[in-house]
Structure 1
Amino acid sequence: MRILYLASGIPVPGTLGGSIHTLEVARGLAQRGHDVHVVAASRELPLSHLRLRPMRRLAGRPYSGFTLYQQDLPKLLSLLGVAAVIRLVRSLRPDLVIERYYNFAGAGMIAARRLGIPAILEVNALMVDPPEIAKRRLDDALGGPFRRWAERQCQWADRIVTPLHTTVPASIPRTKIVELPWGANVEMFIPPAGPPPGPPNIVFIGSFRAWHGVQDFVRAARLLIERGHPYRFTLIGDGPERAAAETLAAPYAQQFTFTGAVPHERLPELLAQAHLGVAPFNTAPHPALRAAGFFWSPLKIYEYMAAGLPVVTAAIPPLNAIIREGTEGALFREGDIADLAAAIERVLADPAAAFAMGQRARARVVAEFSWQRHCAELEQIGITLRQHYQQRVAAP
């Protein structure tokens, strides 16, 4: 199939979770033999970066097995590029359009509907915000235009792909929704034959934001250091809480390494030097996660598993179904610093058992949570939709 995949405002290449997701889906579909064309951004742009004359045509270039078109518009103004997207769709005549949902995007859904092409809407976050969010209050005050546009995109899509169906408005038929988790590139992450030498190295990957639990991680690390453990702690990523995390770690700076944001290609090398991966998610600061459940598909957990690491994460659904206590790692009570420290101690108490957990984690992610499996299922959805469209056209 020829597939057009739109990811408005997402930088490709990039270090954001959305950047990795877009790249892996595009590359995975291309590796399955499809002619893939991706519309993304070259970088994140502020609202002040407004093109007075939006680009009329999108120029593609070969990239990582697919064709990449970079449409540099501020994310909030994504729909200004709809004319260029429609022209691209008319030129390519794709068999399938996939669009990554964003409140102020939708050019792919518009083009697919106008030109009669099967369409998949990919939803990775709550589409209608809970009342605590300022954008929801603004939308309510305006009479609900954001909610109506979200619902309209869902209505236009032939299928909606999401990690958790509660991200989609309740007005949309459940039969239209396919739950499909993210994954890890199991060919990129290759686990070592044995644990790396030296004292245990515990790694955190992620955006340094409150709900990723980076400060909880540092506080738990301090407890462990104060109990006499010779552990080292590596924190990979960046974000608004990095300065606070570094300040918390400062009294024991010799046992902490902050790498900052790194290219995704470096992660296999960094994880190969680790003994344990931690994903200390804390949903308390995130109203949408509290309202709809944990709808994020945990990329960092899958990549820890692919690298052969045991994992410590919060005991909340669906994380407690991905990581099982004593099998692929350990679980702790969400937001409980002491319990997080205790979970890390449980895993690392027996190095041989910890390594075996990592091997089981690797086997499970290969079987159930790889990008390769994700793309195979996405491909099947696309093939089915295309067949339905062909039958509809052929019907008298």
Structure 2
Amino acid sequence: MRVWLVTAAEPIPSDGVRPMRFMGLARALAGRGHEVTLWTQTFFHHTKRHRFPADTEYEAEGYRVVALRAFGYQRNVSLRRYASHWRFAQRLADEMPRRAAPDVVVASLPPLDTVAAVADYCAGRGVPFVVDVIDPWPDVFVDLLPPAVRSVGRMLSAPLSRRARRIFTRAHSVTALSEQYVGWARRLAAPREVAARVFYPAADIEAFDRLAAAQAPAPEAGPLRVVYAGALGRAYDLDCVIDCARLLASDDGPAACFLIAGDGPERERLERRAAGLGNVEFLGWLDAAALARLLASGDVSVACYRPGATQTVTYKLFEYLAARLPVVCSLEGEMGAMIRREGVGASYRAGDFADLAQVLRKLAADRDELGRMASRARRFAEASGDARRVYGGMAGFVEEAARPGTEEAVA
């Protein structure tokens, strides 16, 4: 079977970074004997740089990568970014017809432009396509607006909403990061019933175990080792974490020390904010092996999002849980509920450093319960968030979409 995967923003093998969703799916499909092509652009969203100076193709990990030259941009919210999406969609529309047609296409949403280009291509050739919902554009932007102006935001984004609705009325089926996103897609597809399934953002547990094998376990005594690993940007509320550290530093023997791994535009400002705190350490960017060792050395992790954050289930969840790190999370929705239901962490009020400090003090005071949480964390990661299981299941779902006799998409 010939399968195309289309993504504007995810990593590819030559990036040398942690594999994410489409690399995991490409590996799973190739491992099942399919001919896989991963379409993307030369510009890499995460580094804000072009990978290649011109269109590039190469083979890696058993599948083919096609990177098309499009526009770059420096800011996530900018006209230049939307011009980049439009250009990549235009390039796809030009290049896809030059190849032998696939049996099925999976397209990552966002952006709308590229998925619409895939929908047009597939509708003209009777090829089923699957939409993988990473973020519910454009609704996610409207939800970020103050309540008083959301009605204006909905009015201004109405053309984009109509485009999203047309995509889902034409899609064969839907995959998504969360139940909430599946529900969103089904509402847009209504009244048509669309097959849909959740595949959580998964962690490569086998690779983590291999890389972390030499790390000694964290000491049972001493301050709680709290780990954050990720981007140092505005999306994450590390100000709250640093203020929590300052509060705990005033305790008689701090209850926790904070290990912050990663880099980003907010790093210098955050380091200045944490100046003088002996219980905060910035580790910078870590390669995969160093990151695995850090996670294995921790006692607990923090998933710190700002008040009003719209994320549902994030990659951090299963990366932390796979390392036996209970997760202290500020998200109130699906991810927070999952953590509480499975007994693999705790919640705190977003933006409330005193509440975060209280949660960490409680965990530090009951190491036996923390150990039980760690065991449950690993079991839950193995059952629901292991990359081989998750992307193997997603590959099976894609195979089903390509099977003759399954529901036809609306032209």
TM bucket (normalised to shorter chain) is 0.7 to 0.9
SS for the counterpart of 1:8 is: coil
* 1:128 to 1:81, Cα distance in 2 relative to 1, 3 A: closer
Alignment deviations for residues 254-276 of structure 1 (CA, whole Å, 9 cap, x no partner): 43222334445643222122221
Deviates more, 1:62-71 or 1:160-169: 160-169
Alignment deviations for residues 27-58 of structure 1 (CA, whole Å, 9 cap, x no partner): 33333443322112344379x999xxx97xx6
- State whether residues 322 and 378 of structure 2, in contact with CA within 8 Å, keep that contact through their aligned partners in structure 1: yes
- State whether residues 28 and 395 of structure 2, in contact with CA within 8 Å, keep that contact through their aligned partners in structure 1: no
The CA RMSD over aligned residues, in Å, is 3.5
Aligned residue for 1:257?
A: 281
Aligned residue for 1:243?
A: 268
SS for the counterpart of 1:250 is: coil
- State whether residues 204 and 235 of structure 1, in contact with CA within 8 Å, keep that contact through their aligned partners in structure 2: yes
- State whether residues 11 and 40 of structure 1, in contact with CA within 8 Å, keep that contact through their aligned partners in structure 2: no
Displacement of 1:326: 8.9
Alignment deviations for residues 5-29 of structure 1 (CA, whole Å, 9 cap, x no partner): 1111444355999x62332232333
Aligned residue for 1:44?
A: 44
Aligned residue for 2:168?
A: 154
Matched, 1:223 2:232: no
Aligned residue for 1:124?
A: 134
* 1:69 to 1:326, Cα distance in 2 relative to 1, 3 A: closer
SS for the counterpart of 2:87 is: helix
* 1:68 to 1:263, Cα distance in 2 relative to 1, 3 A: farther
Matched, 1:348 2:358: no
- Please, what TM-score do these two structures have when normalized by structure 1? 0.81
Displacement of 1:379: 2.1
Aligned residue for 1:108?
A: 118
For the residues of structure 1 that align with 2:17 and 2:236, how far apart are their CA atoms?
14
For the residues of structure 1 that align with 2:9 and 2:69, how far apart are their CA atoms?
7
Alignment deviations for residues 137-169 of structure 1 (CA, whole Å, 9 cap, x no partner): 68845x833222222222221112222235438
Aligned residue for 1:27?
A: 27
* 1:333 to 1:138, Cα distance in 2 relative to 1, 3 A: closer
Name the count of aligned residue pairs: 375
Q: Which amino acid aligns with 2:108?
A: R
SS for the counterpart of 2:59 is: strand
Aligned residue for 2:198?
A: 179
Aligned residue for 2:59?
A: 62
From 196, 215, 237, give the equivalent of 2:218.
196
* 1:81 to 1:312, Cα distance in 2 relative to 1, 3 A: closer
Aligned residue for 1:85?
A: 92
Deviates more, 1:365-374 or 1:164-173: 164-173
From 386, 390, 396, give the equivalent of 1:380.
396
Aligned residue for 1:278?
A: 302
- Please, what TM-score do these two structures have when normalized by structure 2? 0.78
Gaps of 5+ in 2: 72-80
* 1:153 to 1:263, Cα distance in 2 relative to 1, 3 A: farther
Displacement of 1:386: 1.6
Q: Which amino acid aligns with 1:95?
A: D
For the residues of structure 2 that align with 1:24 and 1:265, how far apart are their CA atoms?
19
- State whether residues 42 and 70 of structure 2, in contact with CA within 8 Å, keep that contact through their aligned partners in structure 1: no
- State whether residues 261 and 285 of structure 2, in contact with CA within 8 Å, keep that contact through their aligned partners in structure 1: yes
Q: Which amino acid aligns with 1:36?
A: V
Aligned residue for 1:99?
A: 107
For the residues of structure 2 that align with 1:28 and 1:360, how far apart are their CA atoms?
27
Q: Which amino acid aligns with 1:98?
A: V
Alignment deviations for residues 312-349 of structure 1 (CA, whole Å, 9 cap, x no partner): 11362212332127932222233321121121222232
Q: Which amino acid aligns with 1:113?
A: A
Identity of aligned residues (%): 23
SS for the counterpart of 1:168 is: helix
For the residues of structure 1 that align with 2:91 and 2:234, how far apart are their CA atoms?
37
Aligned residue for 1:73?
A: 70
* 1:180 to 1:326, Cα distance in 2 relative to 1, 3 A: closer
